[in-house]
Chain A
């Protein structure tokens, strides 16, 4: 599976958009980008995933560059409850194969 690189930490003001970058320069054509987050001492929570098109759901938006070598997770209006570790993961395929291998993630601190 392709490796991802994320900044170790970021701050964001409450109510503002949080933009979390991820670099996956070795991604191959059929590998999906997934985002999860983990709030302290809980299991990871699925946020969003995509292949090459931008995606949006009720939690966030995922912007993937045209060459697919990087992506950005956008939380449009961050709240204090969005403080968590955010993991960008590249997983091969969308079928019942592949594994989610977690990197170090980005610790997002939302401040009032």
Chain B
């Protein structure tokens, strides 16, 4: 199966600082990547969809100026949480969909990044 990695796996930052999370598709090219957030004991919530080379599409209620997404290449997407606050503490999970049409039904998830804002 395809592998999606995330870095870092855990990060602790102080309130007001910015944090960047990387998502990479290791053995396939991904035209589309997704970012999810998951609070304890809750389901995954889709935050945004990003396509390589274009602006991300954010779900309703997600602040695009706070959660900056850059999908600069077919194997890398980054999520930057700007001016983080304790309520941004969560488990952030990325997902990637292969670029080739015959694999487009597939979608693979990264292991997640645990963000704690103090």
Which of A's residues lie within 8 Å of B, judged by CB?
32, 36, 38, 41-46, 49, 87, 94-96, 99-105
Interface of B is mostly: strand
Apart from A41-B112, A44-B93, A100-B46, what are 10 other A-B pairs with CB-CB below 8 Å? A32-B105, A38-B44, A43-B4, A46-B106, A46-B108, A95-B101, A96-B101, A99-B46, A99-B49, A102-B45
Which of B's residues lie within 8 Å of A, judged by CB?
1, 4, 6, 31-32, 34, 36, 43-46, 49, 91, 93, 95, 97, 99, 101, 104-112, 114
A-B contact list, 24 entries, CB within 8 Å: A41-B91, A43-B95, A43-B109, A43-B112, A44-B93, A44-B95, A45-B109, A46-B108, A46-B109, A49-B105, A87-B43, A94-B105, A95-B104, A96-B31, A96-B97, A96-B101, A99-B46, A99-B49, A100-B34, A100-B46, A102-B44, A102-B45, A103-B43, A104-B43
Sorted nearest first, the 9 A-B pairs with minimum C-beta distance are A43-B109, A102-B44, A94-B105, A96-B104, A44-B109, A102-B43, A43-B111, A43-B112, A43-B93
Smallest Cβ-Cβ distance to B49: which chain A residue: A99
Q: How far is the CA of A95 from the CA of B107 in the complex (A)?
A: 11
Q: Which A residues touch B34, using CB under 8 A?
A: 99-100
Given contacts A43-B110, A44-B44, A104-B43, contact A96 B32 (CB under 8 A): yes
Q: How far is the CA of A100 from the CA of B106 in the complex (A)?
A: 11
Q: Which A residues touch B109, using CB under 8 A?
A: 36, 43-46
Q: Which A residues touch B49, using CB under 8 A?
A: 99
Closest Cβ–Cβ distance, residue A105 to chain B (whole Å): 6
Q: How far is the CA of A43 from the CA of B34 in the complex (A)?
A: 13
Q: How far is the CA of A100 from the CA of B46 in the complex (A)?
A: 8
Closest Cβ–Cβ distance, residue B94 to chain A (whole Å): 8
Closest Cβ–Cβ distance, residue A36 to chain B (whole Å): 8
Q: Are B107 and A100 in contact (CB under 8 A)?
A: yes
Q: How far is the CA of A42 from the CA of B93 in the complex (A)?
A: 9
Q: Which B residues touch A103, using CB under 8 A?
A: 43
Closest Cβ–Cβ distance, residue B37 to chain A (whole Å): 11
Q: How far is the CA of A99 from the CA of B107 in the complex (A)?
A: 10
